Amino acid sequence: MKIKVELFGVCRELSDKDHIDLELDENSKIKDVRDQMIEIVKTKFPENNNYLEMVKKSAFSSKDEIVEDAYKLQNNDAVSIIPPIGGG
Amino acid sequence: MFHCDVVDIKNISLDKAQKFIESHKCGASLFFIGTVRDHNNEKEVTGITYDSHDAMVKKSFEEIYNEAIKKLDLQHPVAFVEHAKGYVPLGGISIIIAVACKHRKQVYDFSRFIIEEIKKRTPIWKKEHYKGEDAEWLDGQKVEVKK
């Protein structure tokens, strides 16, 4: 199934676009998105431990709500990666 | 009464905030303005780029406003919250929190509650720009996942 991951904060550095498209197995969950994002960072930025830590520490949201790793995804869902925040 | 938004720096305006919170029912009003300062972590800062998940930010602002009303003893509460998005140069305004209530204690409590909660949970990120064209995303607070 296809999942679009919208990028924010430091995670914008992971792509030239504002999102990353993932191809995941059927019945995948947010945990699978995180695992695949970790693999992308390891491949594209093998020397950058900061990016790796950021993806590990990030939350994910779906339909503007923070969701846990067990959250089940549907084909063509869009989710957002929410790295540690610091506005104001 | 409440207004919130995420806006480009050229649209962030104290006049707009003042007009929104004007009320004859309120005897106290308070303006909190966050601005870009010239140093952080011993580096010379020239500006900050703010990134934001706009829909979640607005939702978070509304939740914070509603929680403030429940937790604080506010009478006739009015609040205006706008956060800048994109590049804000040194001295530029990043956030305006304008509040009005019946009495002065309430506006201090109200304003403080809003900014402290924004810092804890609102999905906004800062990329600091330094003299010499170097830039880096700042570390932030990990978002809690409710189970």
ipTM: 0.92
> Residue A9: which of B118, B121, B125 has the nearest Cβ?
B125
Residue A87 within any structural domain of the chain? no
Whether residues A61 and B56 touch (CB distance < 8 A) is answered with yes
Lowest model confidence (mean pLDDT) among A22-31, A46-55, B49-58, B63-72 = A46-55
Q: How many residue pairs bridge chain A and chain B with CB atoms within 8 Å of each other?
A: 86
Q: How many domains does chain A have?
A: 1
Sign of CA dihedral A74, A78, A84, B2: negative
Give the DSSP letter of residue B144. P
CATH number where A53 lies: 3.10.20.30
Cβ of A84 and B50 within 8 Å? no
**Residue A54 lies inside a defined structural domain of this protein:** yes
Q: Is residue A23 part of a domain?
A: yes
Domain range enclosing A44: 2-82
Nearest to B56 among A13, A58, A64 (CB): A64
How many angstroms from the chain centroid is the CA of residue B6? 9
| Domain assignment present for A88 | no
Lowest mean pLDDT of B1-5, B73-77, B127-131, name the range.
B73-77
Q: What is the pLDDT of residue A88?
A: 66
Which residues in chain B have their CB less than 8 angstroms from residue A58's CB?
143
Architecture in CATH for domain B2-130: Alpha-Beta Complex (3.90)
In this predicted structure, the answer to whether residue A6 has a pLDDT above a threshold of 70 is: yes
In sequence order, the 6+-apart residues with CB closer than 8 A to the CB of A71 are A29, A30, A60, A62
Burial grade of A62 (CB within 10 A; 0-12, 13-18, 19 or more): middle
Specify which residues A57 forms β-bridges with: none
* The two three-digit tokens of residue B57, written as one number: 């930010």
